[in-house]
Chain A
């Protein structure tokens, strides 16, 4: 079985947010406030004119980190949030009771209430819309003009993501919480 993760060359991000649109289109995410599976965080430039640090303005694409030790999975009272065989954190809508405990527990703000199913929704790495059809990329990766995202199998040493992580330093978000996130930000 694969162990899917994603590496992000986040310094290449130009904040076009094509990924956000592609995600919404691919996965039918409603155009409502609070409805987003992925987003681009904007870190504003530091300093005062004329001494503004251009390098400090960065963009941070983010989404569910598909943690190996996911707090949202631990707190789910009905195991609606579970790990797929490929190591992805998934939500089973038939079992979700909409207690929203997982939304409170997620340190990454990756979850929201889907108004269509009235259950909690989140990034699935396009597993049902693309991976199930034999695709090897996610919608956000396929659409990215600057090739920020690299999705793949972390257990396959020859995969693009494994090669990338072997050659570059990276950081993970809120790693100190012990969540073992599988989104890697290439430094």
Chain B
């Protein structure tokens, strides 16, 4: 931990990029709190969720944050759990990022769950053991505890044995929690487009990809694209891992879509066809999230680190569309197929667009992550100890 005064905490180099980031961060944090006030005043009326589309942007953003957290945890474990030397330098920064992103996720979901206090009480008193949400929530609580302890022994009271033990526990519980989050969607027998083994597996894979993107972004920002050799070597290797993961993800997605469309199964085929025709999928998820980073890595043979950092920005935008699509596409198909009133059209694919409050809270969560990361970077030494220049 660094000894730091309040003045130091809020002083930073006034470069255009830093000023832009400061402005974006403050604006997003303000949006989050303004959204939270609107929610407290108006409840779920402030959201555009309905009976037919009960989950919306906030669930997507929750998934976005916890995927980021799990991804950072998995990628950091390459170094300090599995002992790959080049990756040991990212351990503290990645675990700090994991704690920060899951905390933002909890802040967002806390404003979506109607009765969070009741949840804390009855999760313990009358646990629904057949519920993927119960397992996901409980395991994520445990995961947060483990990674906090891991960070404590990495950055505050250095103890490699304890940090490794809690690192392994955090990794295993994180994987279990995250695949359970996939199962929240995969277990829905009422939604043939989501039901099945795909999501629990895909969640882990896409988490690793998200973790890679975030590492690139964190290091790109920290070193302002002038990477020391040690960092460059690590990022080239990470880039190769990312390329391979993207190839696997694209392969998975292709087969998921082909399987869904094949045979024109009722509900499933029509839902997936509707989803893949939408720009959210082919532009957001596919082009921004997968193809641009993949092509950059492929063409440069994983050597173009700066381009990969920029591609990680499009990658994270794509990851957002992935999470949004996950929720929206799951709920696309109407559960009642008959109209209920005389002058009503027969139900078709369910429409949903987030309300301003949902955008404020959901994207405001990114502001929470940014400001927590800024403070963490100031307060703690997030690099390897022997390289400290603070």
Contact = CB atoms under 8 A, between A and B. Distances in A.
Determine if chain A interacts with chain B. yes
Contacts of A179: 189
A97 B336 contact: no
B196 interface: no
A77 interface: yes
B67 to A, nearest CB: 18
Contact of B55 (A78, A97, A104, A106): A104
A177 B115 CA distance: 30
Interface of B: 43-44, 49-52, 54-55, 113-116, 118-119, 122-123, 125-128, 130-134, 137, 184, 187-191, 330-331, 334-342, 346
B39 to A, nearest CB: 13
Interface residues of A, number: 42
8 contacts: A41-B338, A42-B338, A78-B134, A95-B126, A96-B118, A104-B54, A104-B188, A113-B51
Contacts of B132: 75
Q: Majority SS of interface residues in chain B?
A: loop
B122 A62 contact: no
Given A41-B338, A60-B338, A74-B131, A99 B114 contact: yes
Q: Which of B52, B114, B123 has the most CB of A within 10 A?
A: B114
A80 B113 CA distance: 14
B335 A76 contact: no
Contacts of B340: 36, 39-42
B115 A109 contact: no
Contact of B44 (A36, A40, A62, A113): A113
Interface in A60-97: 60, 62, 71, 74-80, 94-97
A75 B184 CA distance: 8
A60 B49 CA distance: 26
B51 A98 contact: no
Nearest to B190: A107
Nearest to B187: A75
A112 interface: yes
Contacts of A96: 114-115, 118
B339 A41 contact: yes
Please give me the 5 A-B residue pairs with the lowest Cβ-Cβ distance, nearest first. Answer: A98-B114, A41-B338, A107-B190, A78-B122, A109-B335
B1 to A, nearest CB: 37
Contact of B189 (A39, A94, A99, A107): A107
B352 to A, nearest CB: 13
B114 A109 contact: no
A62 B337 CA distance: 12
B54 A42 contact: no
Given A98-B113, A99-B114, A79 B338 contact: no
Given A34-B50, A118-B43, A77 B114 contact: no
B330 A104 contact: yes
A41 B336 contact: yes
Contact of A42 (B43, B114, B342): B342
Nearest to A78: B122
A44 interface: yes
B190 A78 contact: no
A157 interface: no
